[in-house]
Structure 1
Amino acid sequence: MNVRAFFALRVPERVTRKLADYADELCQFDRGLEAHWVDSSSYHLTLCFLGEVSLEQVEELEERTREALNAKRFNVSLDHIGYYAVNPKLSVVAAMTSEQNEVDELHQSLVDIAIESGLDYDEKNFLPHITLARLPSDNQFELDTEQLPQLDLSLPADAIVLMQSRPGEQGSIYTPLFEIDLPLAMAN
């Protein structure tokens, strides 16, 4: 049996509430664009989308992640909302970060773990993000990017979660498959 899976960070309630408020503001610009707004209870920061994964590979991913991941806890700053093309047919409206050094390093570590676990990872130009809405790639809001809300939010990168994604009636349903706490950074 295979599952659709991805690595993510959980989004705390305080950040979820603020992002939901921003999404509500953006809904007024959704004029027949076929945008599907994500329920705020499903918000997460996608670090690495894996696609179809066997249950054996899930076990391998957990073992390798526990052994190989050496990232320490840090804070992720979310500073803007933008468009992100997931593939030629689908784009997302997402909360994103401009300062991504630690996020990029964590993403690359997870990609390396996925490849070492036998997955065929090929997400080119992936950007870690929190999806607020999904829409066809040829649709965009009638709004300059300068009019999109600027964010000043932060969330902790304190645990990595491998999530299963499956379709539901009101959007995707996410189920954690395993979670690994990141250790605290040692003070110098």
Structure 2
Amino acid sequence: MPRLFTAIEVANDVGHQLNKLFPRTEQIPVQGVKHITVRFIGNVTEAEASAIELELISVNVKPFNLMLTGCQFFKSRGAKSIFVTSVIPTGALTDLHQLISRVLLHRGIKSEERTYVPHITLARISRPSDALMDLLLEKGKSVSTELSVTGFVLYCAEHEPAPIYTKRREYIFTTLNG
């Protein structure tokens, strides 16, 4: 049963910048595919996944830019902390999120209950020490880069033993008049 989500793929140059700033270590298991989740979908049947894949073709906004700035920690279930870089939300990103949510609602997939907080996951760290958290947050202050968004991706996620994200389909925005 596919576990799906839509996301904005982070350009390789931006991903490399982030990886250089936060290199992988035993304490910092850097995430592989850098992305900004737009809308989590969840587990669906293969037939539902195929229908969603086709209906998402209708989602289109003008290409836009996003600003990445600073870092923070999110608490996760259990003892893990999620280290992320922040994404400044824009009207265009909100529009994209809402358009995708409407398509999913049409398919019977309810809206998420938690507030949408755009970010890029850099690492999932088990029980980070205060010193490690302080170091990462200090280094994270230097994150400030712009990202061009020209489309989004439908990903299939597997989480055992580590997250693996497979691109199911890519959607490129077309130029809109007006």
Shorter-chain TM-score: what band? 0.7 to 0.9
Contact map agreement 1:64 1:117 (CA 8 A) in 2: no
Verify: 1:72 aligned to 2:65, yes or no: no
Contact map agreement 1:22 1:149 (CA 8 A) in 2: no
What is the SS of the residue equivalent to 1:143? helix
Distance 1:27 1:98 in 2: 28
Shift of 1:101: 2.5
Distance 2:154 2:91 in 1: 21
Distance 1:133 1:160 in 2: 22
Aligned to 1:163: 155
| 1:79-123 residue CA offsets vs partner (Å, 9 max, x unmatched) | 1212234x5445421122224322222122222222211223424
Contact map agreement 2:9 2:35 (CA 8 A) in 1: yes
Verify: 1:62 aligned to 2:61, yes or no: no
Coordinate RMSD, CA, aligned = 2.8
Gaps of 5+ in 2: none
| 1:37-91 residue CA offsets vs partner (Å, 9 max, x unmatched) | 313xx21221111121221222221222112x13111111111212234x54454
Distance 2:155 2:137 in 1: 33
User: CA, structure 1 residues 137+53, in 2 after alignment: closer, same or farther (shift >3 Å)?
Assistant: farther
Verify: 1:13 aligned to 2:3, yes or no: no
User: 5 Å matches for 1:1-188?
Assistant: 2-24=1-23, 30=27, 36-39=29-32, 42-67=33-58, 69-85=59-75, 87-89=76-78, 91-135=81-125, 141-143=132-134, 147=138, 148-167=140-159, 169=161, 171-186=162-177
Q: TM-score normalized by structure 1?
A: 0.78
Gaps of 5+ in 1: none
Q: Please tell me the residue identity of whatever aligns with 1:3.
A: P
Contact map agreement 2:152 2:172 (CA 8 A) in 1: yes
| 1:99-153 residue CA offsets vs partner (Å, 9 max, x unmatched) | 4322222122222222211223424123122110113589764418962323221
User: CA, structure 1 residues 103+91, in 2 after alignment: closer, same or farther (shift >3 Å)?
Assistant: farther
Contact map agreement 2:155 2:167 (CA 8 A) in 1: yes
Distance 1:54 1:134 in 2: 28
Contact map agreement 2:71 2:137 (CA 8 A) in 1: no
User: CA, structure 1 residues 154+118, in 2 after alignment: closer, same or farther (shift >3 Å)?
Assistant: same
Aligned length: 175
What is the SS of the residue equivalent to 1:134? strand
Q: Please tell me the residue identity of whatever aligns with 1:45.
A: I
Distance 1:172 1:182 in 2: 27
After TM superposition, which residue ranges in structure 1, 4 or more long, deviate above 3 angstroms? 87-91, 135-142
Q: TM-score normalized by structure 2?
A: 0.81
Percent identity, please.
21
